[in-house]
Amino acid sequence: MKAYRIAANRGLSSLTQVNQSPRTLGPNDVRVRMEASALNFRDLMIAEGQYGLPDDLAVTPGSDGAGVVTETGADVRRLKVGDRVLPAFWPDWIEGPISPFKTKRSFGADDHGTLAEELVSTESSFAIAPETLSPTQSASLPCAGVTAWNALFEAGGAKPGASILLLGTGGVSVWALQLAKAAGLRAIVTSSSEAKLKRASELGASETINYRKTPEWSNAVREITDGEGVDLVVEVGGAATIDQSLSSVRQGGTVVVIGARAGSNPGFQPSRLIGTAARLQGMMVGSRTMLDQLVAFVDRNRIMPAVDQVFPFEEAAEAFRFFKAADHFGKVAIVHRR
């Protein structure tokens, strides 16, 4: 079986293709022939030493993916051969509140991930894939899609008519935009690219802000919302953007922190939360049940995920380099078989 390995803390140059023996199935396991993978910022963090993994760890990257069940263990009842499935980001978080036990391992970090010809895990680790999407489109649901779903509707508690602010046009933000449009939310999107803002408008953004032209973009958010601020901010930047996110949210609103991609901010004052009465909520992707809910929502609303570029399996290194350049809109995918 062909698979990729990347060495934690060694950079993208450590990505190599290897041949490995297929894993033996346990009684509750299924074997999945992977058809597609999609890249996430976490994959870069692992390679570049920003994820806290041991230096000697070499792992098959990838948490986003889609495939077909080809073999089942003796006690498997929930899935059958031929089912199209998606791996849940946290194999042990099936439902309910988050806990250390449920998040002790994840595909692509603590366990080998999707950038391989096969993936073996317990049947409870997989959700049935959407009926309306191709494998390449479906591959973006487990991490990016579920993160957006949780940020909007679980951690964020957004209801129809609510206003939301989305930072940038990466995989999670674009997923959140598409979900927001289908759910009747008013979405404001920021980017430094006019071309990307145009595409965001075409996907349903109510308003857009070029943060390069408007560095104090929180003022623009206030103007758009008649001085009130938005109900919810999906915060992907982290320390360098959190001040403006708090300035963009209404009193009593919510800032959901899902990433920390931009810079540092040693001067952040937690007392700011008192004046805004805002809720600062962290989250880590979501459960398999959330993935099940997302799949149903996608099928019901005929949502087509935004996939910017698709690379063949043999060109995974090029896919990573393209992804790192951050010129994409939405997701970057890898197709395992054409």
The three-state DSSP-derived secondary structure of the chain is CEEEEEECCCCHHHCEEEECCCCCCCCCEEEEEEEEEECCHHHHHHHCCCCCCCCCCEECCCCEEEEEEEEECCCCCCCCCCCEEEECCCCCCCCCCCCCCCCCCCECCCECCCCECEEEEEHHHEEECCCCCCHHHHCCHHHHHHHHHHHHHHCCCCCCCCEEEEECCCHHHHHHHHHHHHHCCEEEEEECCHHHHHHHHHCCCCEEEECCCCCCHHHHHHHHCCCCCEEEEEECCCCCCHHHHHHHEEEEEEEEECCCCCCCCCCCCCCHHHHHCCEEEECCCCCHHHHHHHHHHHHHHCCCCCEEEEEEHHHHHHHHHHHHCCCCCCEEEEECCC
Q: What per-residue confidence (pLDDT) applies to 228?
A: 96
Token pair of 108 as six digits = 């692509």
Q: What per-residue confidence (pLDDT) applies to 252?
A: 95
Q: What per-residue confidence (pLDDT) applies to 273?
A: 80
State the Cα–Cα distance between residues 99 and 191, nearest whole angstrom.
34
Q: What per-residue confidence (pLDDT) applies to 268?
A: 62
Q: What per-residue confidence (pLDDT) applies to 143?
A: 95
Mean pLDDT of 23-51: 92
52 confidence band (pLDDT: 50, 70, 90): confident
Smallest CA-to-CA distance from 231 within 180, 297, 196 is with: 180
Mean pLDDT of 309-332: 94
State the Cα–Cα distance between residues 228 and 248, nearest whole angstrom.
8
Q: What per-residue confidence (pLDDT) applies to 335?
A: 97
Q: What per-residue confidence (pLDDT) applies to 122?
A: 97
Mean pLDDT of 210-233: 97
Domains of the chain: 2-141+285-335 (3.90.180.10), 156-282 (3.40.50.720)
261 confidence band (pLDDT: 50, 70, 90): low
Smallest CA-to-CA distance from 192 within 171, 215, 163 is with: 215
Q: What per-residue confidence (pLDDT) applies to 49?
A: 76
Is the pLDDT at 5 greater than 60? The verdict is yes
State the Cα–Cα distance between residues 189 and 205, nearest whole angstrom.
6
Is the pLDDT at 50 greater than 90? The verdict is no
Which residues 6+ apart lie within 8 Å of 300 measured at CB?
none
Is the pLDDT at 263 greater than 60? The verdict is no
Is the pLDDT at 54 greater than 90? The verdict is no
Q: What letter represents residue 67's amino acid?
A: G
Which residues 6+ apart lie within 8 Å of 265 measured at CB?
239, 240, 242, 243
Name residue, tokens 């449920």: 102
269 confidence band (pLDDT: 50, 70, 90): low
Mean pLDDT of the chain: 93
321 confidence band (pLDDT: 50, 70, 90): very high
% of the chain surpassing 90 pLDDT: 80
Token pair of 153 as six digits = 């509707």
pLDDT digit string, tens, across residues 136-194: 999 999 999 999 999 999 999 999 999 999 999 999 999 999 999 999 999 999 999 99
pLDDT digit string, tens, across residues 99-139: 999 999 999 998 899 999 999 999 999 999 999 999 999 99
Q: Which one is predicted more confidently, 58 or 289?
A: 289
Which letter, b or e, does each residue of 125-150 get, where b requires 16 or more Cβ atoms within 10 Å of its Cβ?
bbbbbbeebbbbbbbbbbbbbbbbbb
